[in-house]
Every structure is written in C-alpha cells, then in structure tokens.
Amino acid sequence: MATLQVRDVVKRYRTVTAADHVSFSAEAGRILGILGPNGAGKTSTIRMITYITTPDEGEVLFEGTPVGPWSQRRMGYLPEERGLYKKLKVGEQLLLLAELKGLARNEARARIQYWLDRFGATDWFDKKTEELSKGMQQKVQFIATILPEPDLIILDEPFSGLDPINSELLKDIILELKASGCTLLFASHRMEQVEQLCDDICLMAQGRVVVDGPLREVKQRFGKDTVLLEFAGSPAFLDPLVATERVRIINKTQQRAEVRLLNGTLPREVLEAALAGVEDVYRFEVMTPPLAEIFKSLVGKRPEEMARTEDPQPAEATA
C-alpha cells in the first residue's frame, strides 16, 4: 500500500481553485516529483499533506489514516518559502525544531552534530543564524527537515540557492534517504532537475493533475518523437523544417540541436537535412521528449510560459 494517498482533494480560495480534484500516491523507497509551473497548486497540495491546511473536499491518508497532528511528527517538510529565527543560534534552532517533532534533547544533539559534520559545518552549533549566508542557511534548513528521521520527506525546490558542490551533496543524501526506505516528495518547477532524481512524477497545472505515474512509463507513452543532433557547422539547415512546421526546436546551440518531430515527420528527414547543410554530424539520436515538452503537449504551453503569463497573486492562490 502506498505510504501517502492524496484522494480527490479540492482546496478553494476566494478567487482560485488551488487544488482541483487532485489525486496521487507516493510509495516508500521512491521519489515522487510534483512538477508544474508556479501557480500549479504544488504548495497548496503539500500544505494539505502536512496538515497546515485542510482540504475542502477529499482526503489525505498517511499509512491509511487521515493526516493530523500525529502525522506531522512523522513528516519532514522543507518549504519553498523558508526561513530561520534570526536571534537563535544554529544549534538552538535545530534543537527547537527537533523537539517539536518529539525528539529528546540528547538524541537531537548527537544527530545535529552528525549532520553538521556531514555538511562541513562542524563548528556551526553556536553560530548566530544572522551571520549565515543564504546557502549556509539552506543547509541548516535541510538538516532541520531530516533530523527527526521522518518517514515522509517533502522538499520544495531544495536546490534553489545551492552551489554545484552542495547540490551534489544534497542529491547524494536524498538518494541515501531513499535507499533507507523513506518516502520522498520533491516539488519543483525545474523539470530537468526532476528527471534526474525521480522515480515517479505527478505533473500539475492550474490546480489539476495533468499526468502521473512512473517517470519511464509517462515518457514512453509519448513515444520517441524527439531528435538530438550534434554537428559541426551552422544550425541554419533547421530553418526550412521549422518554417514548414515539420519540426519544433526545443533548444539549439551552434553545435547541438534538440527538435520535436511534428505532423508525422520522420527522424531521417531531419538527418538528411542536416547532412546536406552541415560539415559533419557527430551524434544522431531518436529519444523520448524531455518532461517540459510532455508538459507542453498536455497543457498547450511550456511551463515557463505559463509561469510568466500568470498574474502575480497572493501566495494562497499562486502556491
């Protein structure tokens, strides 16, 4: 049975329906990616899972029982909008959050030191939070999330603001937690990041689930209609294909192009055009489209476009 089940959940705010009959489930030992542009309803849904808000309709079950204060203790949540108490020291901050999750002080102390060591922050215990940089605060927040060893970990944009080295470290720890049997929820609007990490995905747009399931299955459902080319020469050979709506460019540089085949175009047509127009071809691959493309096929717009066209709204509505 799935650890977490979100069943037909509806959450309405005055002007918007933030979650419109949302259903999905997450299983232990797997990472579920909740994807969508800003305003898709990710944070609204997560708030109902963490029992910060309650759904207007539907229910959220954790291990088969409706969520409540009891389940809050077993979940770790790193919100996208996160912060720390400025006047507390790092150690006090972590102790406070751990104690609220029901952890004994001595146990919490030992674990705090372990995690500070792992993040190369051994002597931070007595450091003032005010003195930390944004990236450093982010590490403290992540430690606070996983410190009580929750069974369900929810990370909303965990990589934003981290440098590549720390991103790598975070990724390793996420995979470790997954291996130890945790259920992980990973919310992001950056699709390429999710593709690398997630086992399952749940694509959301405007409060609805657009598609969900194991990542591989979702991608295969869309077939292999994307061509990747690496070449020497000008990418101008693509222009006539684009003009006649044979392909659409996903991204292109001077040596590399990723295109989606439209209107029954065959992969070989792209290759032939390339051979005729460039000096040499190094790589030619037919593959499944990236998630952002799948999103576009389903919703009609790329995720970035939706985020941009959306009016700024209060957090209750956009989140």
Q: Under the rule (CB under 8 A), what is the footprint of other proteins?
A: 14, 47, 50-53, 69, 72-73, 75, 77-79, 81-88, 92, 96-97, 99-101, 141, 144, 312-316
Shortest distance, CB of residue 107 to other proteins, whole angstroms?
Answer: 15
Alpha helices in 147-286 (DSSP H): 164-179, 191-197, 215-221, 239-243, 267-277
Residue whose CB is less far from other proteins, 26 or 144: 144
Residue whose CB is less far from other proteins, 223 or 314: 314
Shortest distance, CB of residue 286 to other proteins, whole angstroms?
Answer: 44
Shortest distance, CB of residue 193 to other proteins, whole angstroms?
Answer: 22
Residue whose CB is less far from other proteins, 54 or 206: 54
Residue whose CB is less far from other proteins, 50 or 226: 50
Shortest distance, CB of residue 227 to other proteins, whole angstroms?
Answer: 43
Shortest distance, CB of residue 47 to other proteins, whole angstroms?
Answer: 8
Tokens coding 270: 């792209």
Give CA 182 to chain center in angstroms. Answer: 17
Shortest distance, CB of residue 140 to other proteins, whole angstroms?
Answer: 11
Side chain identity at residue 73, one-letter code: R
Tokens coding 76: 């770790």
Residue whose CB is less far from other proteins, 34 or 78: 78
Contact by Cβ (8 Å): 268, 279: no
* Radius of gyration for the alpha carbons in the chain, expressed in angstroms and rounded: 22
How many CB atoms neighbour CB 168 within 10 A?
A: 11
Residue whose CB is less far from other proteins, 128 or 171: 128
Separation between Cα atoms, residue 133 and residue 221, nearest integer Å: 44
Residue whose CB is less far from other proteins, 100 or 232: 100
Contact by Cβ (8 Å): 125, 90: yes
How many CB atoms neighbour CB 46 within 10 A?
A: 24
Question: Is residue 109 classed as helix, strand or coil in its secondary structure?
Answer: helix
Separation between Cα atoms, residue 120 and residue 100, nearest integer Å: 25
Residue whose CB is less far from other proteins, 147 or 292: 147
Shortest distance, CB of residue 101 to other proteins, whole angstroms?
Answer: 6
Number of residues in the chain: 319
* DSSP state letter for 198: -
Separation between Cα atoms, residue 146 and residue 10, nearest integer Å: 29
Shortest distance, CB of residue 15 to other proteins, whole angstroms?
Answer: 12
Separation between Cα atoms, residue 83 and residue 160, nearest integer Å: 14
**Residue 199 φ/ψ, nearest 5 degrees:** -90, -40
Pairing of strands 200-205, 31-35: parallel
Shortest distance, CB of residue 88 to other proteins, whole angstroms?
Answer: 6
Residue whose CB is less far from other proteins, 32 or 201: 32
